């Protein structure tokens, strides 16, 4: 597997990865209507620009994107998705590790995210604290997610994971 920066022109493929993850993994925690509101068939307007403007990395297996993560300059993990076909193979863990190291290189003091109900446990296992559950609206449908944070001091390294990953989203 290979981690690389997002490349213009692959926004559609990454939307499919996100959508597949939501509809095949997060569906265990959300209704079909909530999944449709979160990840409709077509990407939202400005999706490609969002990927270009927020530093985004893509994990490839062969020539296929199997995971992605985006980190804002303020240390917010805006996206963290793994393809359903590649769940529980350490991809989300590797992406999170990369983001943590990048945040340290940028001298950030902490990371934040808004983790889906499906991804909540993943982030807890990797040292994030759940600050609060919140309700958000997507296309008139209410969904819940977790506002989470992790300090990045020298004593706050990511603990080793005893299991696979099941991160499907942090971008509600």
| Domain-embedded: residue 90 | yes
| Domain-embedded: residue 171 | no
Residues 116-128: tens digit of each pLDDT: 999 999 999 999 9
Average pLDDT of adjacent 10-residue blocks, the chain of 172 residues: 94 97 95 96 94 96 95 96 93 96 96 97 97 96 97 60 36 36
Residues 2-36: tens digit of each pLDDT: 999 999 999 999 999 999 999 999 999 999 999 99
| Domain-embedded: residue 166 | no
Domain extent, residue 98, equals: 2-151
- CA-CA distance, 97 to 52, in Å (whole number)? 21
- Per the structure, how many domains does the chain have? 1
| Domain-embedded: residue 36 | yes
| Domain-embedded: residue 26 | yes
pLDDT of residue 154: 65
pLDDT of residue 164: 33
- CA-CA distance, 149 to 11, in Å (whole number)? 27
pLDDT of residue 170: 40
Q: Where residue 36 sits, what CATH number does that domain have?
A: 3.40.630.30
| Domain-embedded: residue 131 | yes
Q: What's 164's DSSP letter?
A: -
Closest CA to 30 of 166, 161, 143: 143
| Domain-embedded: residue 159 | no
pLDDT of residue 153: 80
| Domain-embedded: residue 99 | yes
């Amino acid at each position: 597997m290979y981690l690389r920066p997002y490349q213009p022109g692959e926004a559609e493929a990454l939307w499919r990865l996100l959508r597949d993850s939501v509809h095949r993994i997060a569906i265990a925690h959300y209704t079909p209507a909530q999944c449709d509101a979160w990840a409709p068939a077509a990407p939202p307007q400005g999706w490609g620009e969002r990927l270009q403007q927020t530093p985004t990395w893509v994990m490839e297996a062969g020539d296929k994107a199997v995971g992605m993560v985006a980190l804002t300059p303020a240390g917010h993990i805006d996206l963290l998705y793994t393809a359903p076909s590649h769940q529980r193979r350490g991809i989300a863990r590797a992406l999170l590790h990369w983001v943590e190291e990048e945040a340290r290189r940028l001298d950030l003091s902490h990371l934040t995210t808004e983790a889906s109900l499906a991804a909540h446990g993943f982030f807890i296992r990797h040292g994030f604290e759940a600050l609060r559950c919140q309700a958000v609206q997507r296309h008139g449908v209410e969904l819940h997610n977790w506002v989470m944070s992790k300090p990045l001091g020298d004593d706050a390294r990511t603990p080793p994971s005893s299991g696979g990953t099941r991160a499907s989203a942090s971008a509600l």
